[in-house]
Amino acid sequence: MITVSNIKKSFGRLQVLDDISFKVDKGGIIAILGPNGSGKTTFLKILLGMVIADGGKILYQEKDISKSHEYRKHIGYLPQIARFPDNLKVREVIHMIADVRNEPSNPEDLIKLFGLESFLDKNLGNLSGGTRQKVNIVLTFMFDTPVIVLDEPTAGLDPVSLIKLKDLINKAKAAGKIILITSHIMSLVEELADEVIFLLEGNIYFKGTPQELKSRTGSEDLEHAIAAILES
């Protein structure tokens, strides 16, 4: 479904992605890990067409993504920072994204799930960070997209909402979707991920299951496995 070949990107003199290639053919949860500034978000943004790569290409369903914006119909994206126009109401922004995408959406169940009913008529500028993140989650999951990209989805969420989010992710996985996720919360990654791609200095340092990563470094959990890689 997604083929990434030789993606390169630098910002000025800083080489963020050196040579990234991998392939995803079947559904499942893929965690993209790496230290701060290792290019996780940059990679996701290249996949979404928000950052333009210096070299290499990404194919989605055998088609080069730089040629057309249509492929984004198939991708749901949860950005790292949730900010919206301050004077729009929650109801309006949900309606707007549905309107812009022009596809069937089902926000009602998600609104109920995250208890956002009472916020629907509030201005987005007056919401707390966590509530905005919930709105963001509704916007991402209200469409039935075969690929979901989640960039630090847990930021600002309370434990109850976190459990609900995990359920959503697992349901999406059960439906055979491809879920790309970045997170610094290793327990979450360990719990969810089928596969781990570890980025270090612009290259893929490791690609495999979380178990393989642990046994390779001889660590009990993912957190220590990552620490072992970074310290060696």
Partner 1 sequence: MIKIFKYSFSDLMRSRWSFIYLGFYMLLGFVLLFLNNDLSKGIITLMNVIVVLTPMIGTIFGVMYFYNSREFTELLLAQPVKRSVIFLGQYLGISISLAMSLIIGLGIPFLVYGVFRSGEIFNFLLLLIAGGFLTFIFVAISVCIALFNANKIKGFGYAILMWLFFAVIYDGLVLLSMMVFADYPLDDFALLVSFLNPIDLSRIMILLKLDISALLGYTGALFQRFFGTNLGFVMSWLMLVIWTCVPVLLMVRIANKKNF
Note the residues at the interface with partner 1 (CB under 8 A): 11, 45, 48-52, 69-73, 75, 77, 79, 81-88, 92, 96-97, 99-101, 139
Q: In whole angstroms, how close is the CB of 137 to partner 1 at the nearest point?
A: 13
100, 145, 179, 199, 232 from 94: Cα distances, Å = 10, 16, 22, 34, 46
Q: In whole angstroms, how close is the CB of 159 to partner 1 at the nearest point?
A: 25
Round to the nearest angstrom and report the end-to-end CA distance of the chain: 35
Whether the CB-CB separation of 70 and 101 falls below 8 Å is answered with: no
Instruction: Count CA atoms closer than 13 A to 18's CA, side-chain side.
Output: 8
Q: In whole angstroms, how close is the CB of 61 to partner 1 at the nearest point?
A: 14
Q: How far apart are CA 81 and CA 23, in angstroms?
A: 28
Q: In whole angstroms, how close is the CB of 129 to partner 1 at the nearest point?
A: 12
Cβ proximity to partner 1: between 93 and 162 the closer is 93
Q: In whole angstroms, how close is the CB of 96 to partner 1 at the nearest point?
A: 5
Cβ proximity to partner 1: between 99 and 117 the closer is 99
Cβ proximity to partner 1: between 97 and 222 the closer is 97
User: Which residues are 130's β-sheet partners?
Assistant: none
Cβ proximity to partner 1: between 4 and 139 the closer is 139
Dump strand ranges (E) for the chain: 2-11, 14-24, 28-33, 55-60, 63-64, 75-78, 147-151, 178-182, 195-200, 203-208
Cβ proximity to partner 1: between 126 and 211 the closer is 126
H or E segment at 37?
none
